[in-house]
Amino acid sequence: MTGVIGRVDAPELHVMTYNIRRRLGIDPRPADRWSRRQEPLRALLAAELPTILGVQEAMPDQAAFVAAALGPRYRSIGRGRNRDGRGEACPLFYDADRLELIEAEQTALSAQPDEPGSRSWGSVVPRIVVSAIFRDRATDARFRVMNTHFDPFSAAARVRSSEIVRGAAAEASEPVIVMGDLNAAASSPALRVLLSGGVLRDAWANARTHLTPGWGTFVNYRRPRADAPRIDWIVVTKGVRVLRAAIDGEPVDGRWPSDHLPVHAVVRVDEGGAAR
């Protein structure tokens, strides 16, 4: 198959966020079965080969599957969200031939961010953000990437999570790219908070070129709709120019890799740029 973007050359960076839908311990309906979704996901990742991929809902075996599909050039950071480091994760995968990892951390989206497994504000399960600083080996530009998955049930938790992420982006000394399944539409309080104050900008809205329609990103194994909400996001600070954006609304050989659609952006980080 051909990706909507595929591998890009320096100075461009292909960033991609994808909720790959966790593997369930029960026998789900056919479209949701991990055994049915594996090969479409492998084909999609092999066609795209993003410079940076933020994944949500990855169980340990699924994270290993993604790593194998991307190939030996890639490394990953991030662990499970539970207190013991196990369970569902939001790993960041990156092309180590292109990017040097400078610093990485994982924190809880809670009132106790340094306490693994902690929950606050009505979150049903622990929520996390994985953050990394990279140096582009081709351009020497440094930038931060944050990958997260907001709570789907508690609006208060989504708003507080937005405050945490926006605050971290505002304090960063380097340009920032935030990606993830935010479980929040553009009109939601959480997105209004995240994009308030001009710290972060929606990559889709600021892209020079759109390569696809602006599909709603939770499709539940059905054909996408342009009038459905976009809940998976890539947002950026100043110093990150968005050249192209895409939301891949096509199945792979008649099968959907996930109940979400992958969201892509091709960006260029200003050399020596600052977040503000």
- The total number of structural domains in the chain stands at 1
pTM: predicted TM-score of the whole model, two decimal places? 0.97
Angle at 214 between CA 217 and CA 152, to 5 degrees: 25
4 part of a folded domain: no
Does 98 map to a domain?
yes
In the chain (276 residues long), the average pLDDT of successive 10-residue segments reads: 96 99 85 97 99 99 99 98 96 99 98 97 97 99 99 98 99 98 99 98 99 98 98 99 99 98 98 58
**Which domain, by its residues, includes 45?**
13-269
10 Å CB burial of residue 179 (0-12, 13-18, 19+) is buried
Is residue 243 a part of any domain in this protein? Answer: yes
Instruction: Give me the CATH number covering residue 37.
Output: 3.60.10.10
Residue-level pLDDT at 274: 53
Residue 23 lies in a domain: yes
| Residue 143 in tokens | 């930038």
The whole-number pLDDT of residue 273 equals 55
Question: Quick check: is 3 in a domain?
Answer: no
Burial of 269 (0-12, 13-18, 19+ CB in 10 A): buried
Within a domain: 8: no
Question: Distances from the Cα of 84 to the Cαs of 94, 115, 121, in angstroms?
Answer: 24, 11, 21
DSSP conformation letters of 57-83: SB-HHHHHHHHHHH-TTEEEE--BSST
What pLDDT, on the 0 to 100 scale, is given for residue 26?
75
| Letter string b/e over residues 84-120, b meaning 16 or more CB atoms within 10 A of that residue's CB | eeebbbbbbbbbeebbeeeeeebbbbbeebeebbbbb
The reply to whether 7 falls in a domain is no
Residue 156 amino acid letter: A
- How many CB atoms are located within 10 Å of the residue 60 CB? 15
Q: Is residue 214 part of a domain?
A: yes
- How far apart, in whole angstroms, are the C-alpha atoms of residue 251 and residue 259? 11
Taking the C-alpha atoms of residue 74 and residue 101, their distance in angstroms, rounded to an integer, is 11
